C-alpha cells in the first residue's frame, strides 16, 4: 500500500500501485470515470474505464460520491493533464463506505459550517493549517528543550487569579467554586527555584466577551520562565524561538503554505534581532501613521493593527507604563513609572502574539504592588513566599500559539487555526 505522495513518482511508472483514501472529486464522461483521490499526503487522479473493469464495476465506481472511502490498485502512468501530473489506471478496488450526499459545499452559511465543523475540517485548506500547527507545536518545544528548559505542567483548576478576576470561568468542584486557569505563569515561577528554566504548553481560559478576530475563550498558551534572566535575556530567547519555528515551518510545510496561498516571502524575510521600540517612542511614531494615541493609552487589537500594518518584521514594544500592566511586572529602577517588560507584535497588522518581562523579586515591592491593586496578599500567599525564600531575578513570557499560527499562515481569524474553536456562542461540536 502506497501513500499518495509516494505514488507521485517516476520510480513507480508502469508498476501497479495501491492507495486508499477518500474521493475528493469525481466526474464521469461517457465510458470513463475520473476520480481524484485524497489521503493525508496528497491527491492523485485515478481513471476507471471498461478496459479493466466490467459493466457492474463501472456502474459502481461511477456512482461513488465525494468523501466515499475506498482502496484501489492500478498501473501508474504520467498524465500531464491530471491534477498532480500522474494517473492511476484502475484495475481493482474495494469500497469501504459509499456516502450519501456529503453536506459540505461552497456557499453554505457560517452557522451550518460550524455545526458541521467535524466534516468541514476535511478541506485541503484546514488540513494544511493543521499540519503547520503541528509543526509549530513541535518546534516550540524543541527550541526550549535544546536550550535546557524543562517542560512542566501547571494545574487547570485554580483558586488564585493571575490577570484579575473579571474574566474567570467558574467550575462546580464537588460543591465548591473554583476557577479555570488564565495563565500558568505563577506556577512556572514556583518551579524555577529548582529547575531554573521551564516551559509549558497548555490550554488557558478567559471568559472575555470580546468577539474580535483574535479571541478564543479557550486557547493554547505556551509559557516560559527562566531564573536569572533579564528582560533583554528573555527577548533574545524568544526571538530565536520565533525564528526557529518559522524556519521549521518553511522546511516542513512549503506545500501546505502553497495550499493556503500564503505569500511565503512574508515569513521567509523575517529577520532577528527584532527591533525594540519603547512604548513611549511607539506612541510618538504612531502619529506618522495618522493615529491619535497619547501616552498611557492601551494598545488593543485596533491600535496594534493600525501600527503593525506598517511593519514587515515583528517588533518588541518595551517599557510600558506601570498602569497598563499587571501587578507582578518589575518596575524599571532607572525610569520610574515604567516597567521592564515587552510585548511581541507581529507584522502585517497581526499585533500581539506574546507578552513577557521581568517579574518583581523584591518582597516589599511585590506586597506594595498587590496592595496598590486592591488585591488581598493572603490570596497570593504562595506567590509571595517565592520572594521570601531564595528570591532571584527572573523573567518569563506567555505566547498565544493559536495567534502565532494565525500570523504564520496569514489567516484572517484565529478560529481558522484550531479544529474546534470555542467562542462566547459556541461549544459544539
Q: Residues 319 to 338: which contact a copy of itself by CB under 8 A?
A: none
Taking CB under 8 A as the criterion, which residues in 152-191 touch a copy of itself? 152-160, 169-174, 176, 178, 180, 187, 190-191
Which CB atom, from 83 or from 95, has the smaller least distance to a copy of itself?
Answer: 95
Burial 341-367 (b: 16+ CB within 10 A, else e): bbbbbbbbbbbbbbbbbbbbeeeeebe
Considering the complex, what minimum distance in angstroms separates the CB of residue 293 from a copy of itself?
A: 32
118 binds a copy of itself (CB under 8 A): yes
Smallest distance, a copy of itself to C-beta of residue 103, A: 8
Q: For residues 180 and 339, which CB has a smaller minimum distance to a copy of itself in the complex?
A: 180
Q: Does 89 bind a copy of itself (CB under 8 A)?
A: no
- Tell me which long-range contacts 37-43 makes (C-beta under 8 A, separation of at least 24): 37/4, 37/70, 37/72, 38/4, 38/124, 39/3, 39/4, 40/3, 40/127, 41/3, 41/4, 41/5, 41/6, 42/3, 42/4, 42/5, 42/8, 42/84, 43/4, 43/83, 43/84, 43/124
Does position 359 interact with a copy of itself (CB under 8 A)? The reply is no
Give kind and range of the element (H or E) at residue 380. none
To a copy of itself, the closest distance from the beta carbon of 193 in angstroms equals 5
Query: Which of residues 133 and 262 has its CB atom nearest to a copy of itself in the complex?
Result: 133
Q: Tell whether residue 212 is a contact of a copy of itself (CB under 8 A).
A: no
| Other beta carbons within 10 Å of 60 | 15
Residues 388-407 touching a copy of itself, rule: CB under 8 A, are 388-393
187, 188, 189, 191: CA torsion to nearest 10: 100
Q: Is 145 in the site for a copy of itself (CB under 8 A)?
A: yes
Among 42, 90, 197, 239, binds a copy of itself (CB under 8 A): 197
Cβ closest to a copy of itself, residue 136 vs residue 277: 136
Going by C-beta distance under 8 Å and a sequence separation of 6 or more, which residues neighbour residue 160?
A: 186, 379, 380, 382, 383
Q: Which is nearer to a copy of itself, 314 or 421 (CB)?
A: 421
Amino acid at each position: 500500500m502506497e501513500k499518495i505522495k509516494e505514488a507521485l513518482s517516476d520510480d513507480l511508472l508502469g508498476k501497479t500501485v495501491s492507495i486508499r483514501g477518500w474521493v475528493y472529486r469525481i466526474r464521469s464522461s461517457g465510458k470513463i470515470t475520473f476520480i481524484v483521490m485524497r489521503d493525508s499526503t496528497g491527491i492523485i487522479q485515478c481513471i476507471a474505464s471498461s478496459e479493466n473493469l466490467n459493466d457492474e464495476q463501472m456502474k459502481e465506481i461511477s456512482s461513488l460520491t465525494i468523501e466515499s472511502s475506498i482502496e484501489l490498485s492500478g498501473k501508474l502512468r504520467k498524465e500531464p493533464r491530471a491534477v498532480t501530473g500522474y494517473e492511476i489506471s484502475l484495475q481493482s478496488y474495494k469500497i469501504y463506505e459509499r456516502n450519501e450526499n456529503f453536506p459540505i459545499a461552497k456557499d453554505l452559511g457560517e452557522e451550518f459550517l460550524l455545526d458541521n465543523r467535524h466534516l468541514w475540517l476535511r478541506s485541503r485548506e484546514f488540513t494544511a493549517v493543521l499540519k503547520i500547527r503541528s509543526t509549530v507545536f513541535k518546534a516550540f518545544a524543541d527550541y526550549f528543550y535544546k536550550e535546557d528548559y524543562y517542560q512542566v505542567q501547571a494545574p487547570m483548576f485554580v483558586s488564585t487569579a493571575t490577570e484579575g478576576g473579571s474574566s474567570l470561568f467558574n467550575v462546580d468542584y464537588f460543591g465548591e467554586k473554583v476557577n479555570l486557569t488564565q495563565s500558568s505563569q505563577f506556577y512556572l515561577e514556583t518551579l524555577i527555584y529548582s529547575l531554573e528554566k521551564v516551559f509549558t504548553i497548555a490550554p488557558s481560559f478567559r471568559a472575555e466577551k470580546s468577539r474580535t478576530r483574535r479571541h478564543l475563550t479557550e486557547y493554547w498558551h505556551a509559557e516560559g520562565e527562566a531564573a536569572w534572566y533579564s528582560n533583554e535575556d528573555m527577548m533574545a530567547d524568544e526571538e530565536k524561538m520565533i525564528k526557529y519555528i518559522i524556519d521549521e515551518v518553511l522546511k516542513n510545510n512549503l506545500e501546505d503554505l502553497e495550499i493556503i496561498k500564503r505569500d511565503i516571502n512574508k515569513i521567509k524575510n523575517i529577520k532577528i534581532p527584532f527591533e525594540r521600540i519603547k512604548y513611549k517612542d511607539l506612541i510618538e511614531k504612531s502619529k506618522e501613521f495618522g493615529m491619535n494615541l497619547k501616552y498611557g493609552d492601551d494598545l488593543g487589537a485596533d491600535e496594534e493593527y493600525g501600527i503593525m500594518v506598517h511593519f514587515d518584521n515583528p517588533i518588541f514594544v518595551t517599557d510600558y507604563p506601570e498602569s497598563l500592566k499587571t501587578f507582578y511586572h518589575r518596575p524599571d529602577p532607572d525610569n520610574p513609572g515604567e516597567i521592564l517588560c515587552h510585548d511581541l507584535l507581529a507584522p502585517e497588522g497581526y499585533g500581539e502574539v506574546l507578552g513577557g518581562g521581568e517579574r518583581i523579586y523584591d518582597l516589599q515591592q511585590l506586597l506594595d504592588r498587590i496592595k496598590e491593586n486592591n488585591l488581598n496578599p493572603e490570596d497570593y500567599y504562595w506567590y509571595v513566599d517565592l520572594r521570601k525564600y531564595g528570591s532571584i531575578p527572573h523573567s518569563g513570557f506567555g505566547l498565544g500559539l493559536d495567534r502565532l499560527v494565525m500570523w504564520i499562515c496569514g489567516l484572517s481569524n484565529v478560529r481558522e487555526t484550531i479544529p474546534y474553536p470555542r467562542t462566547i456562542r459556541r461549544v459544539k461540536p
